[in-house]
Amino acid sequence: MNFDILLGIGAAVFVLIFLTYVLAPTKNQTNLLFWSVLLVICAAINFAVWIIRDWNEEGTTLQWVLIEATTFVGALLISSSRTAKSFPIAWKFLLINSFGLGIAFLGIILIRSSLHVINQPIEFLAANSSSHPEIIWVEIGLWLAIFGYTAKLGLFPNHVWIEDTYGESPTQVSSLLSSFIPVSVCFALRPFVHLDHQLFPHTFSGADGLLVLGILTIFLSIFAVYDRDDIRRISAKVALFHTGALAVFLWMDLSDTAFLFMMATNLVVKSLLFISMGIVRMDAGKRELHKIIQADSINKPALSLFILALFLAFVMPGSPIFVTDIILIKAGQIGSKTFVILVPILGIVFFGVMLYKLAPLLNIKGRPFSKDLSTILRIRMTNGFFLLLLLLSTGCWGFYLLLQGVL
């Protein structure tokens, strides 16, 4: 996969999310013009982060500025539902992300200033680090930059904003933020992880800390999803699991092709997950599982799309997640890091817990959409179907690349 394909997938995902917001708003979504413009601005900022791939002082600083801008725009979008919960959640999102990005910026300054003082090529510095004691400041800077960006990514212990943000925001906002922001943060983090592997391959460094936080986040998501009775927050825990998996992939420092495919996977999987979840919630008129299960009927196509999205987010062949699991296992065997097979194994465990909670929904009898919501939900179902096609196409493309030996 090349960068242009990723941009195309990102553009297609955004158009479908945007059309869902504009053509099928809920009664709480007022002032559509203003919020639609903010959606476009948020997406444009994220695309700009992806495009800036040169690892130089101007590039890393501009990436940081743009990612910080997504924090402010994202906080406004979170509050767009204008409920009693949305405003404190928007503040939590703003404060935690700004806190993390402040630490990351300090790390970037330390790295850049230290490398400027040492004034040696990275390859030479990696081979002669003992003759440059000032390299300790580069290591400290990498710890700060990597840890700071993990707050924006949503890893433990700064994961607390994930559930509230994705669980209480409008469906389209949750789709946009969960799909695009992790990709932007990964683009910013990747050069620092690569530099860390080059300079400190034999010590416990910032990149290794990223791995530990990712695995802790995965375990936390499994324990947390068991206690959740809210389909919005269950979906948020799915996003949290995949955030932890992203950290493991970043630590593996795979090829550009594998990295770009992983980013495309994040886009299509999370967008379909939240769009399909929103349809079920609107159709049921409830979000608590025990209340939905007690209902007399539910729209079966909407429920089937949501359940299928959950399957495709973990275990189903044909999903890009299935491809990324194969990539991870293959890279782990080649690099003698076989423990990374823990990620797909834990994915199966997470899926099993989630299926145990959601299986009773399948016993509810079917019915059409209610007349007052029929138009809105049919539009959302159409957009969800296109997202499903995009997800399956990405998965098939990944299998083709695997067979060709590209991934």
> Mean of the per-residue pLDDT values for the chain?
91
Q: Which residue, among 190, 117, 112, 198, has the nearest Cα to 149 in the 3D structure? A: 190
Flag whether pLDDT at 73 surpasses 80: yes
d(CA 282, CA 285): 5
Q: Cβ distance 145 to 111 under 8 Å?
A: yes
Residue 10 and residue 47 in contact, taking contact as beta carbons nearer than 8 Å: yes
Q: What confidence tens digit (pLDDT) does each residue in 41-64 have?
A: 999 999 999 998 766 767 788 999
Six-digit token pair at 85?
Answer: 């919960």
Q: Which two tokens stand for residue 19?
A: 């059309």
Mean pLDDT of 72-99: 89
* Cβ pair 152, 67 in contact under 8 A: yes
pLDDT at residue 351 in the model? 92
* pLDDT score at 226: 87
Is the per-residue pLDDT at 124 higher than 80? Answer: no
Mean pLDDT is lowest, of 55-59, 139-143, 350-354, for: 55-59
Q: What is the pLDDT of residue 85?
A: 80
- CA 66, distance to chain mean position in Å, is 17
The yes-or-no verdict on residue 121 having pLDDT over 90 is no
Q: State residue 335's pLDDT score.
A: 85
pLDDT tier at 285, thresholds 50, 70, 90: confident
* pLDDT (tens digit per residue) in 374-404: 999 999 999 999 999 999 999 999 999 988 8
pLDDT (0 to 100) of residue 320: 94
User: Who has greater pLDDT, 351 or 83?
Assistant: 351
In 3-state terms, the chain is what percent helix, strand and coil (to 5)? 80, 0, 20
**Which residues neighbour 322 within 8 Å (Cβ) at sequence distance 6 or greater?**
315, 316, 395
Q: How wide is the angle at C-alpha 195 spanned by C-alphas 192 and 201, nearest 5°? A: 120
Average pLDDT over residues 356-366: 89
- Compute the average pLDDT of residues 13-20: 95
| pTM for this predicted structure | 0.94
Query: Picking from 21-25, 60-64, 139-143, 233-237, which range would have the lowest pLDDT averaged per residue?
Result: 21-25
Residue type at 301 in one-letter notation:
P
Q: What is the pLDDT of residue 135?
A: 87
Confidence of residue 161 (pLDDT cuts 50, 70, 90): very high
How far are the Cα atoms of 49, 127, 161, 232, 355 from residue 223, in angstroms, in the given order? 33, 43, 17, 16, 14
Work out the percent of the chain whose per-residue pLDDT is above 70: 98
- Extents of the domains making up the chain: 3-404
Residues 214-243, mean pLDDT to the nearest whole number: 93
Model pLDDT for residues 253-271, shown as the tens digit of each residue: 999 999 999 999 999 999 9
Give the DSSP per-residue string, 78-120. Answer: HGGG--TTHHHHHHHHHHHHHHHHHHHHHHHHHHHHHHHHH--
pLDDT digits (tens, 9 = 90+) for 311-338: 999 878 889 999 999 999 999 998 889 8
pLDDT of residue 57: 66
Q: What is the mean pLDDT of residues 302-307?
A: 93
Enter the tokens of residue 336.
């003698």
Indicate the length of the chain as a whole number.
Answer: 407
Specify the residue for token string 């800077």. 141
> Would you say residue 131 has pLDDT above 90?
no
Residue 81 pLDDT more than 80?
no
Q: State the Cα–Cα distance between residues 181 and 163, nearest whole angstrom.
A: 15
pLDDT at residue 70 above 90?
A: yes
- Per-residue pLDDT band at 310 (split at 50, 70, 90): very high
